[in-house]
A = this chain, B = another copy of it.
Amino acid sequence: MFAHVENQKQDFLARVMDYVRHPSISAHNIGIAEVAALLVTMLQEIGLEAETVPTAGHPMVLGRWQNKPGAPTVLLYGHYDVQPPDPLELWVSPPFEPTIRDGRIYARGIGDNKGQHFAQLMAIESHLKVHGELPCNVIVLLEGEEEIGSPRIAEFVAGHREKLKADYVVTADGPMHPSGRPTMTYGVRGMCSFELRAKHARRDVHSGNLGGIVPNPIWTLVHLLGTMKNAAGEITIDGLHDAIVPLSALDVAAVERLPLDLDAAKASLGLTRLDAPAERGYYERLMFHPTLTINGFHGGYGGPGSKTVLPCEAVVKCDIRLVEAMTPDDVLAKVEAHVKKHSPEVEFIPRGGMLPSRVPLDTPYGAIIRDAIELAQGVPPLEFPCTGGSLPDYVFTKILGVPAFVVPYANADEANHAPNENMTIDCFYNGIRTGAALLDRVGASKS
């Protein structure tokens, strides 16, 4: 298998560059239908049954090879949509003209996520070419709306349980550890978003002529926010922590095994300190604590110099990252109750969310993935109980009820969501090898 991958390297490289040449920007509905159709053809040429399944938004692409009754089934999830490429002027080479420089492929989507699921597809192709069959059953699910928050995947998964029936799910997405060590993760934080809007007077007024008379919506929001999280960094919304599952001994031990160079981490971000509370461990912050992030605060004058205005409205946008077993519905209800109690004048606008996902660290499926990575890359992966960001893995763990893992193939500096997104050619090849080894290990396991 690895010999076949080695022989086909130039072909794989040419084909992934051709794939990422096609824009598929979900936020702007550019190229989505074309790339979905292209994928169906591609999956069929590889040897899978393939179809697009319409949703209320962009279609899902489904591929399957299920010719091995009794063997386990792995569902490989990815997404074929990409982030908008702006700001274009910061790209060294155009985002949809894939270019190789210094051993890296530069193109929008090469890391997030086209290059990664394309590596999975080349792994499937390699097995079929070499052996005429796969070692296990495979379902490929490629979403077209991940970059706009996966608004329809829960409904889609809940409505197609039979089509998606698998033993477990593996997603190749995200970056590997900065050390270059391969990585596998057992969970993701969830999230929910909301807005707070305050408006008092009908119009902006003069800060002298009416200062002291007219309430200031920025002050209203400042004081409300002050009741939601204190300066010590503790979220103080009633009941917000109720559902949180305490760390297990396995969680603690897993965190202790992870490498950490705190000075390097701070230096790379230009930080003189970590966020409050000061005493929390680096990984505990990302894996086991919710956040309350103000994404934006806007009200009043923001131009040069001064303006003696008392503004009439202000808006705050926030997100909360959720850890197991918080839910967006419960958390948003608690935030709303808090706002109603402390500042009933403020409008609360929920913006939806995504459940967290966790697979227990002692799951027997962990060994299959761990072994596959070590087989392909020669070194065992770093195992993360959870990552700070959010992926819709809950649709697998909580709707389908099967374990879901993330095995990133991209380099840590892939610059996803940013100009000059890239993937090293080595990471791409290692992804194909890892995907091939994964199918092999799945096939060798019991269903």
Contacts and interface: CB of A to CB of B under 8 A. Distances in A.
B271 A215 contact: yes
A231 B220 CA distance: 8
B388 A208 contact: yes
Interface string A190-224: 01010000001111011111111111101100110
Nearest to A298: B302
B293 A216 contact: yes
Contacts of A388: 208-213
A213 B306 contact: no
A370 interface: no
B296 A297 contact: no
Interface in A254-298: 265, 269-276, 280, 282, 285-286, 289, 291, 293-298
A301 B291 contact: no
Given A210-B269, A212-B275, A298 B297 contact: yes
A301 B319 CA distance: 12
A28 B36 CA distance: 54
A225 B297 CA distance: 14
A298 B230 CA distance: 20
Interface stretch (A15-23, A69-77, A88-96, A308-316): A308-316
A21 to B, nearest CB: 26
A222 B225 contact: yes
Nearest to A268: B202
A25 B212 CA distance: 30
Interface string A92-116: 0000000000000000000000000
B300 A270 contact: no
Contacts of A207: 191, 291, 293, 295, 319, 321
B295 A309 contact: yes
Interface residues of A, number: 73
B297 A215 contact: no
A206 B308 CA distance: 34
B317 A202 contact: no
Given A295-B207, A298-B297, A309-B296, A226 B222 contact: yes
Contacts of A420: none
A299 interface: yes
B295 A208 contact: no
Contacts of A285: 212-213
A219 B294 contact: yes
A345 B276 CA distance: 14
Interface in A148-191: 149, 189, 191
A231 B417 CA distance: 39
Contact of A306 (B200, B275, B301, B317): B317
Contacts of A319: 207, 211, 306, 308
A366 interface: no
Contacts of A226: 222-223, 226, 231
Given A222-B225, A293-B310, A389 B302 contact: no
Contact of A211 (B299, B306, B321): B321
Given A208-B390, A226-B226, A315 B293 contact: no
A364 interface: no
Given A207-B321, A319-B207, A321-B212, A296 B294 contact: no
Contacts of A387: 208-209
Contacts of A4: none
Contacts of A211: 286, 291, 293, 319, 321, 388
A293 B222 CA distance: 12
Given A226-B223, A270-B202, A388-B208, A295 B282 contact: no
A422 to B, nearest CB: 17
Interface string A22-62: 00000000000000000000000000000000000000000
9 tightest Cβ-Cβ pairs between the two chains A and B: A202-B270, A208-B389, A296-B300, A212-B285, A296-B301, A211-B291, A298-B302, A223-B231, A218-B294
